[in-house]
Amino acid sequence: MTTDEERVVSVLDLFRLDGRVAVVTGASSGLGAGFARALAEAGADVVLGARRADRLTGTAREVEATGRKALAVPTDVVDPESCTALVGAAMDAFGRVDVLVNNAGIGTAVPALREEPAAFRAVVDVNLMGTYWMAQACARVMAPGSSIINIASVLGLIKSYSPQAAYASSKAGVIGLTRDLSQQWSGRKGIRVNAVAPGYFASELTADIPRGPLDEFVRQTSTLGRLGNQRELDTAIVFLAGPASSYITGITLPVDGGMTGH
């Protein structure tokens, strides 16, 4: 049985983010820049964080081309104070933070017996610790109804194409972190926390992998048999960001062409 309020709000309206402010880390290029554009297209103003400050300008222009406002803030998610400063800048500019997309990430592909401790730690620092620091900083100011979306990876769930112990373990950690933060914050603070686990997409992280062998690996290990495209991931982000997913928290959503179910 539907309520009068449910009848008034259309299904498409539930995917709108008008009046909301989204923070996207790793927004200087690649998937993060795409997420920023998609959130803006759905109606959100967007705060952009990344270490490469010069490249944030381009993403900001793309967000503003949709008619929404953009704020670029040089940010290193490894540093908790930098994360706090990003959120402070967002609050000064917009007075609120409603959505966080924890996208900043790096990866290596080194055989485990040859991986240096510093390289392993660097991946975990950005992918797992950085996700935690940003989530902490945003949760301190978020109101009930807000959404945190952590970008995990299908490699946190299944075997990888190449030797990626640091990357796979950091992303598995993000999945565990997502469950715990959802348990802590969703009921008590009204902040939903979910993760997206992308499969193989054409992005900066896959740019150095020879496409022939990668395409064949994806063909053999996924149901759809191809790499994903940016828009197929954008729609999952927009869905989890707003009221369309208001009854969903603590989950990891694979967007992987069927790799996890193959």
> What are the catalytic residues?
167
The span from the CA of 151 to the CA of 175, in Å, is: 9
Residue 5 corresponds to which amino acid? Answer: E
Residue 5 to residues 1, 2, 107, 116, 148, Cα–Cα distance (Å): 12, 8, 45, 57, 25
With CA atoms as reference, report the closest residue to 24 among 69, 68, 72: 72
**Up-side HSE of residue 247: CA atoms within 13 Å toward CB?**
0
Sign of CA dihedral 101, 106, 112, 115: negative
Q: Which residues contact 45 (CB under 8 A, 6 or more apart)?
A: 20, 21, 22, 68, 69, 70, 71, 94
Q: Which helix (H) or strand (E) holds 115?
A: none
Tokens of 85: 């400063």
Cβ atoms of residues 256 and 197 within 8 Å: yes
